[in-house]
């Protein structure tokens, strides 16, 4: 029997505090070569902090981080195996795309003889050849995000960390960024993508980890998480006219629903095993005077996995993890 290969990334029992204030606690995470992990969690859950830890920019207060077997905080070789794509655009706006990449290649320690090839590979992978000579500051936000990604690839990292890579871009630019990530994946690069976008996570990820208040509350294969939540299908989802009050919430709970405040409306997912069909539900809600916008039957997706994981976490007595509802 052969033993499975060691994961490219292993985080074990990691904790982190900023000036005494705890941000990460007991974080365990592993990622294999070529895998894509979506990291989800409410604002302030600690996603960026975890990625900074993995990138070796911070050292854990407890536990360990290993990339390709080494500590990225102490070992330059481990840091070179990691590409870091920050949430903000971190480029030189007056320099052209190619000049930016050349500077980042130099910063990544690429010898000058090999820089042109590294730049050309980055331009090709990120489909930037046509804008190679344009100043970055004159490009659209979508292009700038792709240059941001290309800049992280100069040392051919085996693991790329992306912090909300499609934040604030339009659908076309989002698809172009997803195509870049698809090419990286095909080339065997492991990706860790922090995102608030469930559709993006479902599209890109093999694995999903949900972080709440500095703890991993769910970690699994996307297909397993979806299969588990769909095991009790079909599900009815009742969108209520906002704002729904406590009385509406009480009716929903009595009718076998788990109501979730999504901001402008209440969405309620039927709990497993409740026998009512959509017509029964509609009648019960109308009789109770609950304003209904529509009732849909649909397979629950990652958003439902996320909401239930946070609700369970909050129910564990660790206050405030659910209800932030920002990951949409």
Ligand X SMILES: Nc1ncnc2c1ncn2[C@@H]1O[C@H](COP(=O)(O)OP(=O)(O)OP(=O)(O)O)[C@@H](O)[C@H]1O
Point out which residues bind ligand X (CB under 6 A).
18, 23, 41, 43-49
Nearer to ligand X, 53 or 126 (CB): 53
Taking the complex as a whole, the smallest distance from the CB of residue 61 to ligand X amounts, in Å, to: 13
Taking the complex as a whole, the smallest distance from the CB of residue 19 to ligand X amounts, in Å, to: 6
Nearer to ligand X, 205 or 281 (CB): 205
CB-CB contact of 128 with 85 (8 Å): no
Query: Can you tell me the distance from the alpha carbon of 219 to that of 163, in angstroms, rounded to the nearest whole number?
Result: 18
Quote the tokens at residue 94.
Answer: 């007056």
Cα dihedral: 97, 98, 103, 109 (round 10): 130
Nearer to ligand X, 44 or 135 (CB): 44
A 10 A CB-CB count for 179 gives 14
Nearer to ligand X, 86 or 142 (CB): 86
Taking the complex as a whole, the smallest distance from the CB of residue 46 to ligand X amounts, in Å, to: 4
Nearer to ligand X, 45 or 139 (CB): 45
In Å, what is the CA distance from 170 to each residue of 86, 140, 143, 177, 199? 19, 10, 11, 11, 14
Which residues on adjacent β-strands are paired with residue 211?
Answer: 216
Taking the complex as a whole, the smallest distance from the CB of residue 48 to ligand X amounts, in Å, to: 3
Taking the complex as a whole, the smallest distance from the CB of residue 322 to ligand X amounts, in Å, to: 15
Taking the complex as a whole, the smallest distance from the CB of residue 17 to ligand X amounts, in Å, to: 9
Quote the tokens at residue 10.
Answer: 């292993």
DSSP state of 5: P
Quote the tokens at residue 193.
Answer: 């993508």
Nearer to ligand X, 257 or 313 (CB): 313
* CA diameter of the chain: 76
Query: Can you tell me the distance from the alpha carbon of 266 to that of 263, in angstroms, rounded to the nearest whole number?
Result: 7
């Amino acid at each position: 029997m052969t033993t499975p290969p060691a994961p490219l990334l292993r985080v074990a029992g990691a904790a982190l505090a900023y000036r005494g204030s705890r941000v990460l606690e007991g974080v365990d995470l592993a990622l294999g070569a070529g895998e894509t992990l979506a990291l989800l969690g409410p604002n302030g859950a600690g996603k960026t902090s975890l990625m900074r830890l993995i990138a070796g920019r911070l050292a854990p207060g407890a536990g360990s981080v290993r990339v390709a077997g080494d500590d990225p905080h102490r070992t330059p070789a481990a840091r070179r195996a990691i590409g870091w794509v920050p949430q903000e655009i971190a480029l030189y706006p007056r320099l052209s795309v190619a000049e930016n990449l050349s500077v980042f290649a130099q910063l990544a320690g690429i010898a000058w003889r090999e820089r042109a090839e590294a730049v050309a590979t980055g331009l090709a992978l990120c489909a930037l050849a046509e804008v190679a000579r344009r100043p970055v500051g004159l490009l659209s936000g979508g292009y700038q995000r792709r240059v941001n990604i290309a800049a992280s690839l100069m040392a051919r990292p085996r693991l790329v960390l992306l912090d909300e890579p499609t934040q604030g871009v339009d659908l076309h630019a989002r698809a172009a960024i997803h195509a870049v990530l698809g090419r990286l994946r095909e080339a065997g690069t492991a990706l860790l993508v922090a995102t608030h976008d469930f559709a993006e996570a479902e599209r890109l990820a093999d694995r999903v980890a949900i972080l709440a208040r500095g703890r991993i509350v769910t970690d699994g294969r996307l297909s397993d998480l979806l299969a588990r939540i769909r095991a009790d299908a079909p599900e009815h989802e009742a969108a209520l006219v906002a704002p729904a009050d406590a009385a509406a919430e009480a009716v929903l709970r009595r009718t076998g629903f788990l109501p979730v405040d999504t901001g402008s409306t209440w969405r309620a997912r039927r709990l497993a095993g409740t026998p009512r069909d959509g017509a029964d539900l509609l009648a019960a809600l109308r009789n109770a005077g609950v304003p209904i916008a529509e009732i849909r039957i649909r397979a629950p997706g990652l958003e439902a996995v996320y909401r239930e994981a946070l609700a369970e976490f909050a129910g564990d007595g660790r206050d405030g993890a659910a209800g932030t509802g920002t990951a949409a």
